[in-house]
Amino acid sequence: MDFSWNETQINLKKKILEFAQQELKEDLIKLDQEKKFNQIDWYKWADFGIQSLIVPQKYGGQELDILSITYALESLGYAYEDNGLIFAMNAHIWACELPIITFGTEAQKQKYLPLLAQGKWIGSHGVSEPSTGSDVYSLKTIAEKKDDQYILNGHKIFVTNGSIADLIIIFANVDLEQNKRGIMAFLIEKDTEGLIIKRTISKMGLSTAQMGEIILDNCVIPSENILGKEGSGMAIFSHAMEWERGFILASAVGTIERILERCVKYARQRQQFGQPISKFQLIAQKIANMKLRLETARNLLYKMAWLKKSDKPALLEAAMTKLYLSQAWIDCCLDAISIHGGYGYLTEFELERELRDAMGSQSYSGTSEIQSLIIAKYLGL
């Protein structure tokens, strides 16, 4: 087992750190309060190449291996503080680019991947509905086949990037009686008639990522926009979830490291009762726990990356990675706020934003309870 990174990977990390430090100057407190999409940085990261990490070279991407991508995303979370934009990029990569790379036709790949890789188009996916959350395969959006087309009617909610997306993968059922076997995935472009962006949904954190509520009202989709084969929607969703759950929080590992370093520095500087607060064992223990969480999270993440690099199934590991990393990120933010005392509660210290951002991770890509159920199922429970 070799835990060392090669020179190319180390250089990529270095470049990400330098780029974030030198090129990205947006006022995150303001953007967070205004709940605006961080468009400037989206294009800057696209020029840098984050949105093209997984895309094959043939379609203008970098086609990096999954270990390098994991390291790049971890470095991104360490170097760059806009968790909302990182989340938007993750949704774009795992929920839109990856399914097209894996299941798309040659024509679909040629049409969409270069635009998505360059960040000129923003991708998203819509599965969740007002009455369908964790019980995802009970979705009610209907796709009715008519000649060579499908007519979609339904209602999607929680769609990350949804209100600004150029391309949305929408999951719908062609035959509710077939239950999950009737589910299909459709590639829907933003100007398609019948695709109605009802609103941008305001939320607790990840404010620079825009979340949409979408209505499909007799939305006509040509059959060339089916993703995968008829009835393969469940397989597409399950594949996307394995990767998304495994890697969507790679950046959070970097974020935890950044917050940990900040806490160490603060605890050594801040004096109370005539000594640095780091000398109080209750504070030191919080920091030691943060370090333990960081390294455990990292090990789960790297194992996940190694499994996928080795083409092995990793549904159990994906659930464990998602469950552990989300809780580690939340706990780390709570400890950081506590270590900073009253200052941790202030907006200008930017830790309360970190906590609000971290909280979303226990819900998206399947809640923590659902990840626990998956783990239990693998244990035969």
Ligand X SMILES: Cc1cc2nc3c(=O)[nH]c(=O)nc-3n(C[C@H](O)[C@H](O)[C@H](O)COP(=O)(O)OP(=O)(O)OC[C@H]3O[C@@H](n4cnc5c(N)ncnc54)[C@H](O)[C@@H]3O)c2cc1C
Residues that bind ligand X (CB under 6 A): 91, 124-128, 133-134, 158-160, 206, 360, 363-364, 366-367, 369-370, 373
Distance CA 147, CA 149 (A): 6
Active site residues: 244
Q: Is 116:65 a contact under the CB 8 Å cutoff?
A: no
Q: In whole angstroms, give the CA distance from residue 285 to residue 295.
A: 15
Report the Cα–Cα distance between both ends of the chain, in Å, rounded: 31
The distance of closest approach from Cβ of residue 343 to ligand X in the complex, given in angstroms and rounded to an integer, is 27
Strand 167-173 and strand 123-126: the pairing is parallel
Given the complex with ligand X, which of 24 and 127 has the nearer CB atom? Answer: 127
- CB-closest chain residue to ligand X: 133
Write out the two tokens for 36.
């605006």
User: Where does the chain have alpha helices with state H?
Assistant: 7-23, 28-34, 39-48, 66-79, 83-92, 98-103, 106-117, 233-247, 250-269, 281-309, 315-339, 351-359, 368-378
Please identify, using beta-carbon distances, which residue of 227 and 287 lies nearer to ligand X.
227
Nearer to ligand X among residue 91 and residue 267 (C-beta): 91
Nearer to ligand X, 133 or 276 (CB): 133
Alpha-carbon distance 113 to 119, whole Å?
10
